[in-house]
Each structure stands twice: as structure tokens, then as C-alpha cells.
Amino acid sequence: MMAELKKSLNMFQLLAFGVAGVVGTSWIYTNSKLFAEYGAGGVIFGLIAGVLLAACVALAYSELTTTFPRAGGEVVYSYTSMGRGAAFITGWMLLGAYVSSLAFYVTAFGFLLAKFVPWVNTIPLYTINDETVYLPVLLIGIALTAVFFLLNWFGIEVGAQVQMAMFAAIVVIGLALVVVGFTTGSPQNFFPAYAPDAQPVADTLRFIIPGMTFLAGFGLVAVLAEDANVSPRKVGRAVGFTVLAAGGFYCLVLAATAWVLPWQDVAEMDLGTVSAFREAGFAWLGAGAYLIAFLGLLTSFLGLFVASSRIMVAMGRAHLLPPRLGDIDERTGTPRKALIATAAVTLGLGWLGPGAVVWFLDTGGVYLGIVWFMVVLAKYLTPRRYPELERPYRTRWGFLPAIGGVGALLVIVWAIVPGTGSSLVWPSEYIILGVWCAIGAVLYAVAAKKQISRTEGLKALLGDSYAHLHRHEVEAQQRKSQQPKK
């Protein structure tokens, strides 16, 4: 029998990976640019709409996670409902989104640190896309990658404890920003929420799609379902909670930023929330906001590092990637080969620096849109393919995931179609998108030569859940075998 991942995460640790993995870094100090482009109303109201659309997608995740609480969530759902090809597309797109962010984090921490420690930006190595990569910055990124690798080598427990500590710090600082911002600021700083010559409806609608991508990574909970020592139903609920909690955190901190000072003034500052609270007389909170940027980078780095290895595990189990990636160390219950592969890819792309990696990040919106759409599709196709399958959780409003699916399609169109305001950069980002798809096509063709049957693939992906999926068939065979022979 194939070894399983060790069930080590409790509910709070699972939520820490989910929520803290979503709350990233740059939003806290780049919201000045967002306010300038969309207005405070466009950013916050558009983000609320984006959160609601993402929550609709999360309903599909919740249903499928409670039914199949297995590593690599989205890969499992697609394979079960649509087969091998769909599972590869889903997994490859998800890996593309996650490793793009991981590669960015390799040099992002040093970039942030350089604002306080200038000597970090010394000893230039090379320049790509007008961004110079410095030796200390690169060494810091390599060291961080090594630390997160080691935190997971002997089990996810230590990494989970570190994630919990950083998550708690983010929450405490965020609450302080919100309380001080709303108690010392004024609604007159927020209203009117749009510039005099703005188009409020258009600006709000334009920010919905970027707002959805703010929540990239809420599927972490589903990906880590096999690591969780909680009931499948609670894991499913955790997915929805992750979206609402992370989205609520974003909205409250951004609203507090536009409340503590006139948002038009914040729009002209360099570091968004950091500058706003400094100018309002709360230097310590400005520093706290910057600390959120550091912690958000670290929590996202750790969460996506763990999640990427679990996606590789699922694809290895189904022979969509080399089968050895699906191996689990029996002593520690960790996917050591997948962890090595994740570290290798992270460093292999991370050395390119922020100038090149920003191209990968922008294509991540397309990858995520595809993944979200595939999950919504799997939600509707699974009960059709397995009408007698018992699902522990079903949303009362079955049409809502479809609305989220439409939002996912809009994410894709918004990025691919030129002239939308969030279009990919021509030609670099379109080339990267094409190259990633081409590499995937080659790997899929190579893996197809050693593919296993659908039944074997399902057994490897689902483990104990396979018997549940085919429970009625098994019971029918047992009844047939127990009938007296004539």
C-alpha cells in the first residue's frame, strides 16, 4: 500500500497556512498606486466584490475537499471527474502559479531588507529586465529557501508552528492598524471615495479581477487536506473561511489606510499604508505595516513551498509527472523527493531576479483562472459521473460556484486580451505563457508513455477514499459473491 502523508496539522495550523498564505506582501506598501488609479472606493468596493466571487469558487472547493481530502486537491478533483488530461492541465497550471511566486520571493525579501540595510544592494551580479541582482540579496533568498526546505524535511509540524507564530503577529499588527486608523481618522478622509473626474462604477468593476487575484492561494487548504488531522467537513469549511478571513483583512487594513489620512494624499505617497501611518503620527504602526510586508512574504513563501510539493505528490501518484515525486518517506511521513524538486525549481527560477520573475507573476493570473474554472467544472461533473456518491457537504445555493466560474473566466480573458488594463505585457509575458504550456505538453506526452490505468490512478490519488467512491460497486460485488450458487 502506498505511504500516506502524516496527519500533523490541527485546525488552527491549517487556517494559518491558508489565511497567512493568502495575505502577501506588496499590497501593504503599493496601495498608493492602487488608490491613485482606482480611487479608495474602487479598490475597497472592487475588492469586496472580488472576495465574493472568490468565495463562490471556494464553495466548489469546500464540496470537493470534504469528499476527497487528499494531497494536491485540485489535481484529485480534476482526475476524478474529468480524467488524466484535465488533471494534468489543472496541476501544471497550479504549479505555474505557485512556483512563479516562489521564484519571486527568492529575491523579494532582500529587496525589502535593502530599504533598511542599504549594504544589501552591493556587489552587483547581473541585470535582467532593468533590474540588477545583487549577491547579498541572492544569498539571503537561497538561505530562506534552505530554511523552509529544512523546516519540512523532518515533518510539517515545525513549519506549522513557525507559520502560526508569524500568522499571529500579522493578525495583531493588522488589528492595531485597523483600530488606530478608524478611531483617530475620519470618514471625511475616505469620502468622497472616488476622484471628481472618475467613473465610480467603471473603476470598481475594473478592480474586481485584480481583487480576485489578491486571494491567490486560498486553495492551499485543499492542497494540504491530507496533512490535516481534522475531519474532512472541517477542512472544507476552512477553505471558505480562508477566503473570507483573508479578504476581510485586506479590506479592513486598506479602509483604515484611507481613513487615517485623506486617501488622495496617500495616493501620492511612496509606501502606501507604511507612509500613511507615519505621516499620521504613528511611526511605530508604520514600522508595523512594513513588518506585515516581511511576515506576509515569509508566510506566503512557506505556504506555497509546502503546497507545491503536495501538488507534485499528487501528479506523481497519478504518473502525470515522474512517479517518484509521489513517494512518501515512511518514517517522517514527508514527500522528500517532491520537496527537493520544489527547492530546485524555486532556486532555478529565483536567480533570475525580480525583473524577469515579474513576467512569471503576471502570467500567474491566467494559471489561477484556469485552475479555479476547472475546480468549478469538477464540482458539477463529479455528481454526474458518480450519482450515488455521498458528499458530506453540499452548498444550499448550487448556482453560486457557477458565478465564481464566470469570474475565473474573466480573470483569464482580462489577462490574455490586449488593452484590458491588466493584459499581459507583449511579447515577454505571452512568450512565457506559451513556453510554460509547451513544456507541459512535452512532459504530458512523455508521461503518457508510462501512464497507468484510470483505476490505478484513482486508487493512488484517493487512497482510502477510493473505496468510498466506488462503495456501491463494491457492495454489489459482495452481495453477488454471497448469493448461493445454483
Handedness of CA 297, 302, 308, 310 (dihedral sign): negative
State residue 479's pLDDT score: 56
d(CA 261, CA 187): 10
Dig out the grid coordinates for 108 from the structure: 523579494
Contacts of 171 (CB under 8 A, 6+ apart): 249
Helices of type H across 68-125: 73-82, 84-113
Q: Name which of 221, 258, 207 is nearest 50 in CA terms.
A: 207
Q: Which residues of the chain are modeled with pLDDT < 50?
A: 1, 486
Element (H, E) at 278: helix 272-279
DSSP one-letter code for 156? H
d(CA 324, CA 339): 12
Domains defined along the chain, listed by start: 11-387+396-469 (1.20.1740.10)
State residue 60's pLDDT score: 96
CB-CB contact of 335 with 313 (8 Å): yes
d(CA 27, CA 33): 10
DSSP one-letter code for 485? P
d(CA 100, CA 481): 53
Dig out the grid coordinates for 200 from the structure: 465610480
Contacts of 238 (CB under 8 A, 6+ apart): 11, 14, 15, 18, 221, 230
Query: Scanning the structure block, which residue is given the C-alpha cell 509521489?
Result: 326
Dig out the grid coordinates for 114 from the structure: 535593502
Each residue of 212-244: pLDDT tens digit? 888 888 889 999 999 999 998 899 999 999 999
CA-based diameter of the chain, in Å? 91
Please state the pTM of the whole predicted model.
0.92
Dig out the grid coordinates for 312 from the structure: 507534485
Query: Scanning the structure block, which residue is given the C-alpha cell 492541465?
Result: 89
Backbone angles phi, psi at 412, to 5 degrees: -65, -50
State residue 2's pLDDT score: 60
HEC assignment per residue over 193-260: CCCCCCCHHHHHHHHHHHHHHCCCCCCHHHHCHHHECCCHHHHHHHHHHHHHHHHHHHHHHHHHHHHH
CB-CB contact of 246 with 215 (8 Å): yes
